[in-house]
Chain A
Amino acid sequence: MNPVYAQLQQEVPLAWYLILSAILFSLGIVGFLIKRNLITVFMSIELMLNAVNLSFVTFAHQWHQVKGQIFVFFVMMVAAAEAAVGLAIIIAVFRARATLAVDRIDRMKL
């Protein structure tokens, strides 16, 4: 067989995609735990959402189902709405407390 053609036909197991997704999700959890800045904590949540999306796309490819991809589409829409509201809340918190450090935002009331 032509070596170039053989290289083009190389396959990647879908398990690798799932493991990449699991690693990204774990890195998101670690970021959520160790980061001390409100915006960066929020970014870690976005990282976790992206990791789950990768799992959805992988399973959609495995079962040849379109619905898995549509689910990712809905997750993206909800993430956009969540980012808009979350960042507005961050701006409101910053206005009230003048800080973004999560250790200093420890009360529900002003």
Chain B
Amino acid sequence: MHLILFVVFAGLCLAGAVNLLLQTHPINSALSLIVVMTSLAVLYLLLGAEFLAAAQVIVYAGAIMVLFTFVVMLLNAGREDRTLGSSAAKTVGFPAVAAILSLIATIILHAQGLGTARLGDGITSTEELSTVLFTKLLLPFEATSILILIAILGAVALARHGHGSDGDRERTGGK
């Protein structure tokens, strides 16, 4: 059962990632990325991380991808032109990527002591996770909340139309 679920959702994951690269329209790439993230949530569930599976669906496949599709539609992004592809990516990039991938795969396949995953084995409950998070790691958690607050302020400041008086002038000029 675990094997079947792993093969199905790993295949979906890879198909989504490859489709992200092949599609020319950004909205199709965004939808394939949602497929990748949702399949990854199932893989987290197979590895016993139930809270992270829920958070993956809510935060990644929900909030972040809604933001992406919203921006794609807001900016009315059309299909990309492929003519201007840089030659450096083809001559240096792809051999480097292939080398890195083969290196990592070799290291992983030769690693000793890696265990196996079984269905219903080593499930981490949300209670366990939150006990550690809210006792030992409370300070990083609070720091993250401040980081998100700063990110909200930064996003509002960056995406605001114009800068102060310029924007006001444009708005009154439009009327």
Contact = CB atoms under 8 A, between A and B. Distances in A.
Contacts of B97: 26, 29-30, 33
A39 B14 contact: no
Interface string B132-151: 11000100100010011011
A89 to B, nearest CB: 6
Interface in B28-67: 29-30, 33, 36-37, 40, 43-44, 46-49, 51-52, 55-56, 59-60, 63-64, 67
B114 A76 contact: no
B68 A83 contact: yes
A15 B109 contact: yes
| Residues of A in contact with B, size category | 35 or more
Nearest to A22: B104
A88 B129 contact: no
Contacts of B49: 57, 60-61, 69, 72
Interface in B69-93: 71-72, 74-75, 77, 80-82, 84-86, 89, 93
A58 B116 CA distance: 10
B6 A16 contact: yes
B77 A27 contact: no
A69 B14 contact: no
Chain A residues touching B, majority SS: helix
A103 B83 CA distance: 10
B85 A36 contact: yes
Contact of B94 (A24, A30, A57): A30
A69 B129 contact: yes
A61 B48 contact: yes
Nearest to A50: B40
B171 interface: no
| Residues of B in contact with A, size category | 35 or more
A24 B137 contact: no
Nearest to A37: B80
Interface string A9-31: 11111111111101110111111
A20 B124 contact: no
B80 A24 contact: no
Contact of A70 (B40, B100, B129, B155): B129
B33 A77 contact: no
Contacts of B36: 24, 47, 50
B14 to A, nearest CB: 7
Contacts of A103: 84, 86
Interface of A: 7-20, 22-24, 26-31, 33-37, 39-40, 42-44, 46-47, 50, 53-54, 57-58, 60-62, 64, 66-67, 69-70, 72-74, 76-85, 87-92, 94-95, 100-101, 103
